[in-house]
Structure 1
Amino acid sequence: MTSRLRSKSLKLASWRKASAVTGTRYKLDESYYSATRTVEIDPRMTAIHEEVKGLVAMDGPMKHVIALLMDESKELKVVPIVGSGGLGKTTLAMEVYRKLGSGGDFQCQACVSVSRTLDLVKLLKDILSQINKDAYKECQSWEKEQLIREIKHILTGKRYFIVIDDVWKEQDWKLVKTAFPENNNGSRIIATTRITGVANLCCSVSDEQTYQMAPLDDVDSRRLFFKRIFSSVDSCPSELEEVSARILKKCGGLPLAIITFACLLASKTHNKDEWERLQDSIGTGSSFDKDGNLKGMKDILLHSYLDLPHHLKTCLLYLCLYPEDSMIDIKLLKWKWIAEGFIATQWGSLDQVAQNCFNELVNRNMIQPVYGNYDSSVRYCRVHDMVLDLIISLSDEENFATVLNGRICNFFPNKIRRLSMQSSGKEHKGAVGAITETKIHIRSLTVFESDKPIVPHFVDFHALRVLDLFGCDSLENKHVKHIGSSRQLRYLRISSYKITELPSGIGKLQHLETLDLRECYSLHRLPSTVAQLQKLVRLFVSGYTQLPAGGFRSLQALEELRFEETDDPVRFAEELNELGKCNLRTGGETAKRLFCNPCSTYPCLQVLKIQSAIGMVPRGMASLENLMKLCIKVTEFDKEDLQVLMGMPSLAHLELEITREAINGKLIIGSDGFKLLKVFHFRYSLFRHPVEVKPTGGLRLTFAPGAMPALRCLCLHLNPMFVASDFCEDLGVEHLPGLAQLEVEITCFKAVPRRVKALECSIEKATSLLPKCRIRVSRAFEGHMFKDDKEWEEVVAKVSRAKKGDQKNERVITKN
């Protein structure tokens, strides 16, 4: 064993020993947080991810790949992008995909990831979900042969564009390729891989070329490195220049290595001796292993891991339960951390401390945030596969978790503490037996695979805290009949159309905090014993489940509730008034009943989301004095509706969507309301077909002087056929002094190019008045836009003739 490996082993052993003595291995490091400390995502991290996109997908590489793809040939063409792990292959592929995919040149598009262990059925379903949503709804029980036939049928005769990311094996490529027909419509595929042999196999014909990803040069490497640490390339102290050069040489021009090491240094004092020590610990040079990975990359990631406080190590290790390339819902992840006991209460709100942990891991570049399209919110995150390899390895050493992911599993540990089932049960026939034998030790069980997973009957799982059966469509009533015996359960999520009832024993789960039944569409009622769940914080049911109104006043811990119907709206309204703070998501009909009475103030409500459209803004909503966030869809909207919304004194976030009634007038937002509003999303997306409307006049929206003084983010979703062509010229954005971000999405579906361009011109004129505001303008459904006015007029005439024919037929029928 080399001295460097021995050193790493000693560090790990030292950490284990210290953690065992102090009992803090999986607990919050009390010295790390104070009661008032809030950790935000470092804005340098947001900037650095944009910087990486610019560097690895800048004009040169992107133009080269596009040139390889978009030649004149009509045959199916595959362009492989090959390079080592952490080099930015996926980033480049996705930027090309976004650029070409938005141009309307392709009739079908999809982007999927293969990962190290191919799950062909899951991958084929993922492709189908992107190219034909109707077919995807029907395919849940299909085998791979039927899925391949359906995909081929849909793509035959069409020009398609597919990205196949992260192909590891030649055999995997051969299997995936069978789904794509060899048509002569100019279809294109991008495949990314670390393996040169795979890249060569991907080429359809001998004269096709692979694109070899090049590492960043010295200039760009320095730029990325110093921007993360010092926010500027020119701010590095002279005494750190030499050691920085040696560090960057070992990083080999890989963006992942550069950013991760820079994040490690950014959390420390800028001391030359400390930088020298870390530099000495990451190998001798930028050599690569047989899988195309930088050898020093593993050292960099391990050092970053060892540098984490104990509780952040635990939170990071928990991510090994998720399949490679997963989009991880951050809210659900935080709730699981809390349920597992990783987050302590002594430093304030559990949710805030969990958010601090997440943000800290982002700042260390151990997890990658996925930003929303129209605001800076982060709803999902991902784990780079090299980080995932590390935490799976560490988890195995610690017996932190057992992961069944399709690889051969010769034995199970004597004590399974956390189990993640990520593939069908064919490779894991001993799983149920092993789970049953060690069930008194299992703290967490998560099922991701929906293709006939093997699950036990849940009886006497006394240590179980997290049970996530979201990927378990074949789950039946018998499996959860005795769920009430798992008394330590904190988090329960079930997804199965075969679940028709829950046992009354669920009321025994006195520690349950999250009950998520959103995907149980055959569950029509909840047992009355749900009202006994004194610590329940979140309750989510599907639109097919009727909520019992009685007993809700006893759920004093309840903070989030999602439902569509209740058996007694009047009683439910009374009980809701007696709750503490609560976030409510419900349907339009229920909302109309809840807010028809202006005297119902619902002081508990802080967040309200109305999922289906209602006629107009209920007048009773004017009394919601504590409401901070509102998402509402209406079919009608006028000045009186606007006044109701403006009358909510605490409103800080408003998402308003008008879905049916065309407005040919002006809505003026004055200075007499929206004093605290920081985020405003306005979507004007009528259900009426655009060809039915003559594109004249249309909606105008105006911000008067003094309007929305606290507004920071404005998002507009507009169809140019329904708004005035000069919509933004009279918008009055110059009256919003605090505006930091403006997002405009133009919906081009059945729109006339002339109207689209006119709207874009009005946006350009308006935004010239906002020199300090971040502005993003995009088109949606551009491929469904009319070619010109003539084509639009022909369609309008055709629709008009069809209508007249229908009316004539109705008169004949009436006469007879």
Structure 2
Amino acid sequence: MAEVSAGTGAMGSLLGKLTALLSDEYNLLNRVRKEIQFLERELSSMRVLLERLADMEEKLDGLAKGWRDRVRDLSYDIEDCIDRFMDRLGSGDAKPKFMKRTVRRLKTLWARHDIATQIKELRARVMEESERRDRYKLDESYYSATKTVEIDPRIIAIHEEVKGLVAMDGPMKHVIALLMDESTELKVVPIVGSGGLGKTTLAMEVYRKIGSGGDFQCQACVSVSRTLDLVKLLKDILSQTDKDAYKECQSWEKEQLIREIKHILTGKRYFIVIDDVWKEQDWKLVKAAFPDNNNGSRIIATTRIAGVANLCCSISDEQPYQMAPLDDVDSRRLFFQRILYSNDSCPSELEEVSTRILKKCGGLPLAIITFASLLASKTHNKDEWERLQDSIGTGSSFDNDGNLKGMKDILLHSYLDLPHHLKACLLYLCIYPEDSMINIKVLKWKWIAEGFIAAQWGSLDQVAENCFNELVNRNMIQPVYGNYDSSVKYCRVHDMVLDLIISLSDEENFATVLNGRICNSFPNKIRRLSMQSSGKEHKGAVGAIRETKMHIRSLTVFELHKPIVPHLVDFHALRVLDLGDCIWLENKHVKDIGSSRQLRYLRIGHSMITELPCEIGKLQHLETLDLLYCNSLPRLPSTVTQLRKLVRLFVSDYTQLHASGFRSLQALEELGFVETDDPVRFSEEVNESGKCNLRSLRTGGEIAERLFCNSCCTYPCLQVLKIHSGIGMVPRGMTSLENLMTLLIQVTEFDNEGLQVLMGMPSLAHLDLEIRRGAINENLIIGSDGFKLLKVFRFRYSPLRPVVEVKPTGGLRLTFAPGAMQALHCLRLELNPMWIVSDFFADLGVEHLPGLAQLEVKINCYEAAPGRVKALECSIEKATNLLPKCRIHVSRTFENYMFKDDKEWEDVVAKESLVRKGDEKNERVTTKN
């Protein structure tokens, strides 16, 4: 049972704390013990009924809902009260030694008037709800409810990529034909249709299809949503078109951003997808950033609004592409493909009921997949299917007015069918703005910190991963696949699902969302708060937050344009504090962070913070400290080593860690840093203690060389290793990392000896290898005796060295011998043609990679001769003819730094050679004298 759930509130964690206080070793006073025993008995009974009520949400009357809401709220208040007791007794450390000391001091603390009054009031509230329960006869009314059948929590995500969706080929070809005509003017192709028809899916698949062909020099895909944040959207475009410019733009206003985007796109052929445009004015503001440069640039815009679509059309007589519902044949194919993994096979007894279900779905792909995902979790039984079909209501997904009431009924039923812990996980997504790209790792860590995840088997992280996969499998969350590999790092929530969970969250007071829409009232007690905009509604919110701040458990603040983060004093119940998107944060905003003693998760991102208070060491429950993008922070306070429960610690490359005391972080599993004040001592402390639990490490070359200097330094749990800032050579001790699955390494020098070390790592599945400098005349041969499990290989060799060092002949050669990398799925190469052999691709041997599905080649044109660039592109084309089933993408980088012709390159090389010879001659004369 999770500590916190949507149905039972904080009952799980609360009862655990009450039970711990009742154990014999604490020797409580009799009066205190009786009070706790009463609370424990009554609340245990209430939790059973809460679980039963949560299983039949749609059948509850007003009395039952009111009782449920009050008891759920009561569980939070009692837990907050107990937590405050602990805070006043000491540091909040929950180890047994501390608990014994805490309970001894509880005898005197309990007698204090204010705490005695709180206990008396809470006990009275519990008795009052117990009497209401009997008076309403809730146990008799809802005793016979059937519990929802839980799905195996080890289920894996089976959500397929959009290229496999039914009836997508025709629309794709149509839209591509509209885009890829011969006109050189900027052309906009709008895609219009109601929610759930697959507009975004179509646009994204077209984006992948033609964006991977190398026809466009700049590409970007962004979402507008109902509330336009123009500055954020422009930054998103900039981050995808020019990452170097994006690093400098964090404090820019919209006018400067528009000028920069226009400057980058002028003279280039670009392809942009603008998803989910709701207002004509929004389109006018966004389009102002795109120059019409007569280079054949293209834009796709998706919208539900016909007026917006017509405005988007480049030429007045053009028509938007109108999305249509699926016909009966395609609807059935999609439906049974999801349930039975077959396009057309259906048991005869299910034919009639499936026809009625599909009629309700109305040809909407979202409705079909959602309902099918619901049925896939049930037995293929006619009675069960008819029961679910009847529960949705009458009619199709569209009502007579063209609205989507039926679709909403399907989504609601899918939500009600979720197990308790998954309801809380799904509702939590309402804290994110519409069309957000949600980082899955961050989401899972916050679920854990909130108490939604229970370690029934395996680690909390594994259980959270399976909760995410199950929500994907039920089509409540949409995974976002990488462009050139099958990894899933982000997810999205369809806006119809988001509308549903925001509505449910409001109804159950699960979370309060300030998203730019006028809000006339706020709940008496805000438990979770998401601040997404700095509009007028925040003026009323400030007072509500001030009144209820001691009850807030989660505070997430997104990229607001005004510093309105409330001061953190008196946020005693806070478990989650996410300020990762607040670029204007200053030291004053976090100076009181030490007062939030229950904090489990703390994230601070791009900001002006230069110092964290030493009081951060008081956060004895803190599990995640994420300062990865806090680039202005020069060092962490030494008190961080007092955080005994810290599981994850991430700092930027510019933040220095204190080596002293690091061995005390025994719970640490994930660590990301580059700099430390004493590399020798840090390596010694890590090797002495925390290495047994360490699963993920990101560090610099100097630290890595010391940690993996010999094969005796074993890290049995290490699965992910990222070595930034360069390391001389591949450390031989890395052969001992038997469980390492992901490796990112930047090396100065590399040869076949280093290659053999990497090939000797048996579990490696993802390798990112960058050779940073040095002219290598080496033939690297990858044979069949290593990389047995490698699925993704990224190889980067683009030294930023003087052109005079380039040799007319020779260079790096890489060869995949027969039998090499049999599991490889994705190959990504980043090469400068000046530093590799001229026939690099002719001898590469990509035809020996039977599982290769995706090949990406980036040609680094920095100080490159155009002739060599073109020769490399021709050799790539010849080699890839041997890969008819492989998805291939070739592009150029640093094209602005390429020589205008081969003669210019030859002249520069000749001139620099003379200069160098002169310098060497002068040096010899000086030495002789």
Compared CA separation, residues 290 and 280, structure 1 to 2 (3 A): closer
Residue of structure 1 aligned with 2:329, choices 193, 197, 219: 219
1:636 correspondence with 2:749 = yes
SS in 2 for 1:179: coil
Kept after mapping to 1: 8 A contact 2:781/2:816 = yes
Who is 1:700 aligned against? 814
Range with bigger deviation, 304-313 or 366-375:
366-375
Distance 1:777 1:178, change over 3 A: closer
Of residues 138, 143, 146, the one that matches 2:253 is: 143
Q: Which residue of 787, 792, 797 maps to 2:903?
A: 797
| 1:745 counterpart = 2:856 | yes
Bigger Cα displacement from structure 2, 96-105 vs 345-354: 96-105
Out of 468, 475, 478, the residue aligned to residue 368 of structure 1 is 478
Does residue 301 of structure 1 match 2:301?
no
- Paired position in structure 2 for 1:10: 59
Q: Find the aligned partners of 2:844 and 2:149 in 1 and give their Cα distance.
A: 54
Distance in 2 between the 1:153 and 1:714 partners?
Answer: 34
Cα distance change on mapping 1:508 and 1:806 into 2, 3 Å: same
More off after superposition, 722-731 vs 649-658: 722-731
- 2:227 aligns with 117
Moved more, 719-728 or 489-498: 719-728
Superposed, which structure 2 residues align to 1:52-451 within 5 Å? 52=165, 55-56=167-168, 58=169, 60-156=170-266, 158-286=268-396, 288=398, 293-424=403-534, 427-451=537-561
Say if 1:188 and 1:292 are closer, same or farther in 2 by CA, change over 3 A: farther
Give the match for residue 643 of structure 2: 533
Residue 776 (structure 1) shift: 3.2
| Residue ranges of structure 1 left out of the alignment (5+ in a row) | 1-6, 769-774, 787-791
Q: 1:780 aligns with which of 859, 869, 890?
A: 890
Judged with a 3 Å threshold, the aligned counterparts in structure 2 of structure 1 residues 778 and 17 are, in CA distance, closer, same or farther, namely farther
Q: Percent identity?
A: 71
Query: What do residues 195-235 of structure 1 show as CA deviations (whole Å, max 9, x unaligned)?
Result: 11221222344212211112222221111111111111232
1:146 offset after TM fit, Å? 3.5
Q: What's 1:46 paired with?
A: 160
Worse-matched range after superposition: 124-133 or 792-801: 792-801
Counterpart amino acid of 1:532? Q
Offset at 1:398? Answer: 0.8
Task: State the match for 2:732 in structure 1.
Answer: 619
Shift of 1:462: 1.1
Distance 1:695 1:670 in 2: 25
Task: Summarize the alignment of residues 676-687 of structure 1 with structure 2, pairs less than 5 Å apart.
Answer: 677-679=789-791, 681-687=793-799
Q: Is the 8 A contact 1:141 1:451 kept in 2?
A: no
Deviations 1:675-700 (A, max 9, x none): 7x444524143235899566877513
Secondary structure, counterpart of 2:551 in structure 1: coil
Q: Does structure 2 conserve the Cα–Cα contact (< 8 Å) formed by 1:81 and 1:210? A: yes
Deviations 1:238-265 (A, max 9, x none): 1111221222122122111111111011
8 Å Cα contact 2:213/2:888 also seen in 1: no
Q: CA deviation at 1:622?
A: 3.8
Q: Deviations over 1:552-584 (max 9, x none)?
A: 111110001110011111111111112132121
Q: Is the 8 A contact 1:120 1:144 kept in 2?
A: yes
Kindly state the Cα deviation for residue 190 of structure 1 after the two structures are TM-superposed: 2.0
The normalised TM-score by structure 2 is: 0.77
**Is the partner of 1:611 in helix, strand or coil?**
strand
Q: Which residue of 2 aligns with 1:789?
A: none
Quickly say closer, same or farther: Cα 1:619–1:421, change in 2 above 3 A.
same
Residue 116 of structure 1, CA deviation: 1.1
Secondary structure of 2:539's aligned partner: coil
Question: Quick one: which amino acid aligns to residue 701 of structure 1?
Answer: T
Q: Distance in 2 between matches of 1:12 and 1:332?
A: 37
- Inter-CA distance 764–726: structure 2 relative to 1 (3 Å threshold): farther
Counterparts in 2 of 1:715 and 1:149: CA distance versus 1, 3 Å: closer
1:660-671 matches, cutoff 5 A:
660-661=773-774, 663-669=776-782
RMSD: 3.6
Deviations 1:700-724 (A, max 9, x none): 324466x778x46563526494367
Is 1:505 equivalent to 2:619 in the alignment? no
Partner-residue secondary structure (3-state), 2:912: helix
Does the 8 Å contact 1:664/1:698 carry over to 2?
yes
Letter in 2 for 1:258: I
Q: Distance in 2 between matches of 1:502 and 1:699?
A: 49
Q: Which moved more, 1:386-395 or 1:691-700?
A: 691-700
CA distance in 1, matches of 2:842, 2:921: 50
Q: Quick one: which amino acid aligns to residue 798 of structure 1?
A: E
Alignment partners' CA distance in 2, 1:690 and 1:781: 23
Whether the aligned pair in 2 keeps the contact of 1:417 and 1:443 (CA below 8 Å) is: yes
Contact 1:103 1:783 (8 Å CA) reproduced: no
- 1:623, CA displacement in angstroms? 4.4
Letter in 2 for 1:685: Y
What letter is aligned with 2:620?
Answer: Q
Go from structure 1 to structure 2 and tell me whether the alpha carbon gap of 1:606 and 1:182 turns closer, same or farther (over 3 Å shift).
closer
More helix by share: 2
Please state whether the residue corresponding to 2:333 is helix, strand or coil. helix
Which moved further from structure 2: 646-655 or 519-528? 646-655
In 1, are the aligned partners of 2:628 and 2:650 still within 8 Å (CA)? yes
TM-score, structure 1 normalization: 0.87
Structure 2 gaps, min length 5? 1-55, 80-146, 862-867, 923-929
Moved more, 606-615 or 742-751: 742-751
Alignment partner of 2:167: what SS? helix
CA distance in 2, matches of 1:809, 1:158: 36
Provide Cα deviations, 1:68-94, integer angstroms capped at 9, x if missing partner: 334444444332211111111112222
Separation in 2, partners of 1:18, 1:728: 74
Q: CA deviation at 1:477?
A: 1.3
| 110-119 or 317-326, which deviates more | 110-119
Distance 1:496 1:605 in 2: 29
1:608 aligns with 2:608: no
Which moves more between the two structures, 756-765 or 635-644? 756-765
Q: How does 1:522-671 map to 2 (within 5 A)?
A: 522-577=632-687, 578-579=689-690, 580-582=692-694, 583-596=696-709, 599-602=712-715, 605-624=718-737, 627-648=740-761, 651=764, 653-661=766-774, 663-669=776-782
CA deviation after TM superposition for structure 1 residue 668, in Å: 3.7
2:124 alignment counterpart = none
Distance in 1 separating the partners of 2:394 and 2:807 = 69
- 2:762 & 2:335 partners in 1: Cα distance? 45
Contact 2:657-2:675 within 8 A present in 1 as well: yes
**Cα 1:125–1:653 shift into 2, 3 Å:** closer
SS at match of 1:592: helix
In structure 2, C-alpha distance between the alignment counterparts of 1:326 and 1:572, rounded to whole Å: 38
Provide the C-alpha distance between the structure 2 equivalents of 1:430 and 1:605, rounded to a whole number of angstroms. Answer: 49
